[in-house]
Homo-oligomer: A and B are copies of this chain.
Amino acid sequence: MTYEVKSLNEECGVFGIWGHPDAAKLTYFGLYSLQHRGQEGAGILSNDAGQLKRHRDMGLLSEVFRDPANLDKLTGKAAIGHVRYATAGEASVDNIQPFMFKFHDGQLGLAHNGNLTNAVSLRRELEKNGAIFSSTSDSEILAHLIRRSHNPSFMGKVKEALNTVKGGFAYLLMIEDKLIAALDPNGFRPLSIGKMANGAIVVSSETCAFEVVGAEWIRDVNPGEVVIIDDNGITYDNYTTDTQLAVCSMEYIYFARPDSNIRGVNVHTARKRMGAQLAREFKHEADIVVGVPNSSLSAAMGFAEESGLPNEMGLIKNQYTQRTFIQPTQELREQGVRMKLSAVSGVVKGKRVVMIDDSIVRGTTSRRIVQLLKEAGATEVHVAIGSPALAYPCFYGIDIQTRKELIAANHTVEEIREIIGADSLTYLSIDGLIDSIGIDTDEPNGGLCVDYFTGKYSTPLYDYEKSYLESLEEHTSFY
């Protein structure tokens, strides 16, 4: 089974390793399995006996390291890497991580997955005091906070800085003699620790990378935790104990690879349970189940098994779509030219189809797929979504920072059904979602962040507070 990326975007993936002679190469393989978390750019920074080296560039990992010499030069037994998702307008190699800072008295590497909620005010304050940023990325702020801290010890500086930044973050820091991993107090972003046969320690946004490099999972990093990895092994410490687990539920719904486990729950299995629960909540008659490739195939399996309907390959995705520079013109599109997704008329013709998708953002993709299925002969298309309606922004690391683009922030379910041209539209309930994922915890919402479904946020919003409140006035509530 493969996976894909669509208009809903995670902000980045990180991978780190300490204690292996092929550190940079293993980081390459680890990032390779995290490529779905960011396709704008990639970079690897290695630590060769205290000397940091880096290569980064725009593009897919395989393009960034098209010339193997760029990887070979990253010698050393420790490394961190990053794949980055492109936010519009900021596409520049300056923003590609890991960041590398060389001071007269030391070196620092930094990779970050997440989004800070007080970045604008922190940056403004720092610049007023003479700071010069080399990127437009918020990730750089932590480095400035560390360098300006008056705490006498390096780890003291790091903890002070981690307590200053707010929002969602999984950080990897590399200095001369250690690799440091840190997670935000809500554990919004996933971050896991593993171990290789030779004793090397690895850290990754997703556990799928452990399979790839042959490492064994040890445990997930906890909220508020800072983990120090060096030649003496792993030291777990906390920079704060004011924590509450709220894992991003979209990781289970859409972002993460099906073979990853987050907080002890396998993603494919969670999705299959979402599909089964969705089947129980679904109220219509149909003949076949068709999942939208590739992200909804697990949910479609679960729906089919629970409902007893046959699971069919009614939609085909071209696997070579990544790289083409040639697209159909509007005129050709109107003549029916479509490159990426085809409906299989031999499968859907004359059938009442349950079309399973993981989520609806703007609604344009759903409308297009419903239309494809109908043109291919489906008599009815019932859209069933493996998650609740996405009606509010995320400020902790998913690229939805305005309500304008969200169809569910502006329309009722019936209106959306009408817009996408479906015969029915069913969203999974929030409770159904929480139960399906089933993290073993007593935290509220089953330890999940479901803020983009409820509009009730886990933390203060800081710099986003004002614009968020304004946006609420413009839109009607969904539920």
Contacts and interface: CB of A to CB of B under 8 A. Distances in A.
A214 interface: yes
Interface string A31-62: 01101100000000000000000000000111
B1 A297 contact: yes
A316 B2 contact: yes
Interface string A132-147: 1111100010011001
Contacts of A120: 104
A214 to B, nearest CB: 2
A198 interface: yes
Interface in A148-165: 148
Contacts of A322: 320, 322
A132 B144 contact: yes
A403 interface: no
A62 B215 CA distance: 35
Contact of A104 (B36, B71, B123, B310): B123
A269 interface: yes
B130 A132 contact: no
A469 interface: no
A258 B344 contact: yes
Interface string A351-374: 000000000000000000000000
Nearest to A145: B130
Given A71-B326, A147-B132, A197-B336, A342 B268 contact: no
A283 B201 CA distance: 44
A1 B337 contact: no
Nearest to A101: B132
A232 interface: no
A213 interface: yes
Contacts of A419: none
A218 interface: no
Interface residues of A, number: 99
Copies in the complex: 4
A285 interface: no
Nearest to A108: B132
Contacts of A310: 301, 305
Contacts of A103: 127, 132-133
A335 B212 CA distance: 10
A130 B127 contact: no
A339 B32 CA distance: 8
Contact of A266 (B3, B60, B347): B347
A311 B301 CA distance: 7
Which of A4, A94, A144 has the most CB atoms of chain B within a 10 A radius of its CB?
A94
B332 A25 contact: yes
A326 B28 contact: yes
A134 B94 CA distance: 9
Contacts of A29: 328, 332, 337, 339
A105 interface: yes
Contacts of A287: none
Contact of A313 (B135, B298, B332): B298
B60 A332 contact: no
24 contacts: A1-B316, A1-B317, A3-B319, A25-B328, A25-B329, A26-B337, A29-B328, A29-B332, A32-B324, A32-B339, A61-B320, A62-B324, A65-B325, A68-B326, A130-B147, A131-B131, A132-B144, A132-B147, A196-B335, A258-B316, A259-B313, A294-B319, A301-B310, A320-B322
Given A103-B133, A272-B312, 15 more contacts: A2-B318, A25-B332, A29-B337, A32-B324, A33-B342, A62-B323, A68-B325, A130-B131, A130-B144, A131-B147, A132-B134, A259-B342, A266-B344, A301-B310, A301-B311
10 cross-chain pairs, A with B, having the tightest CB-CB distances, nearest first: A214-B336, A266-B346, A134-B134, A2-B319, A130-B148, A259-B344, A62-B324, A211-B342, A259-B316, A62-B323
